[in-house]
Chains A and B, each alone.
Chain A
Amino acid sequence: MKKNKRIFFSVILVFSLVFGSAEAASAMHIMEGFLPLNYCLIWGAVCIPFLILGVSSIRKIVERNRKTLLILVMVGAYAFVLSALKIPSVTGSSSHPTGTGLGAMLFGPTAMCVIGIIVLLFQAILLAHGGLTTLGANTFSMAIAGPFVAYGVYVVCNKLKAPKAVTVFLAASISNLFTYCVTAFQLALAHPAEVGGFRASFAEFLGIFAVTQVPLAIIEGLLAVVVIKGLEAYARPELTELRYFEGGAIR
């Protein structure tokens, strides 16, 4: 088992080091080529510090909380699965969940930045979904904004002593919805309407992304509750080490 863990870890670390140090070009669910170059560069630059923090956060987890690596790999795999599932929604369009909220609750938001960018790169390079030029913008929405919101909601709900299931549901679903609001914001910023400018565009893109996303956000929230229930039952030692039961994530 130890050997397996080491292999998983090596893969994650190699990915994070390679991509963490590379100049992040822009990119995720905004389509390839659909953000002007300057926006691609700006969003890419914004992501770099988060990725650096993320790599060091993962390194810390590896050094101090080796035992929890399996859980980290699992939440990474969870994000991988969820972002592959295009689910039909009430608007007659399809979109997919992000899966990054769950990991953010357990490992803190920056660790998920690294996991998120791995997912995005896979999709951009192999699936022609999202894109390399828009990588920065997409990383910001799915791997930074989403996890940070999830973590914020998680901490606030814990302070309010909300039941765990409610906390996890809210954190996962709000972060999912927020991810796509950020995407709409990014597109509106880059493509203001001739009449009405940024606001009109923002409303337009929100209508496309956010409304479609509402049922998916609920699904992601419910699924996160299922997974966390499973982990509570079978991974108690790891969750204790992650300070899950005290309502925090390791730092």
Chain B
Amino acid sequence: MTRNVKITIILLLLIVAIVVAPLLFIKDSEFGGTDGKAEGAIEAINPDYEPWFESIIELPGGETESLLFCLQAGIGAGIFGFGFGYLVARKKYQKGE
């Protein structure tokens, strides 16, 4: 393994650790979004405030929302992976010439 590969693996493991740690140590939370929390704060600060515009799309529920978020991540990861694959292969076959 080259040094760069080792560094990469260590960094990725570190990222996983940072993500997992809160899940292990904070038991009594559902990890809701900060935007939802901010909604609550606005209501507390300014009880009379009425949101004056609704999302133009009403998703039926969490499942559909997660579908779309997956789609977003999937499209992005696909394009990104395609690009990286192209670059790696290019380097590999250029060497052979």
Contacts and interface: CB of A to CB of B under 8 A. Distances in A.
Contacts of B23: 88
B51 to A, nearest CB: 3
B15 A222 contact: yes
B15 A223 contact: yes
B83 A125 contact: no
Nearest to A29: B35
A85 B73 CA distance: 7
Given A88-B22, A90-B22, A122 B39 contact: no
B69 A37 contact: no
Contact of B22 (A92, A124, A125): A92
Interface stretch (A51-59, A144-152, A156-164, A226-234): A226-234
A93 B45 contact: no
A195 B5 CA distance: 54
A185 interface: no
Give 10 nearest A-B pairs by CB, closest first: A33-B51, A80-B76, A92-B29, A81-B76, A77-B79, A128-B55, A33-B53, A84-B72, A74-B83, A234-B87
Interface of A: 1, 8, 29-34, 36-37, 70-71, 73-74, 76-90, 92-95, 122-133, 180, 187, 191-194, 201, 204-205, 208-209, 212, 215, 218-219, 222-223, 225-226, 229-231, 233-235
26 contacts: A31-B35, A31-B38, A33-B53, A34-B38, A34-B42, A74-B79, A76-B79, A81-B73, A85-B73, A88-B22, A93-B34, A127-B65, A131-B53, A133-B53, A191-B45, A192-B45, A208-B38, A208-B41, A215-B22, A219-B15, A219-B18, A223-B11, A229-B8, A230-B8, A230-B84, A231-B87
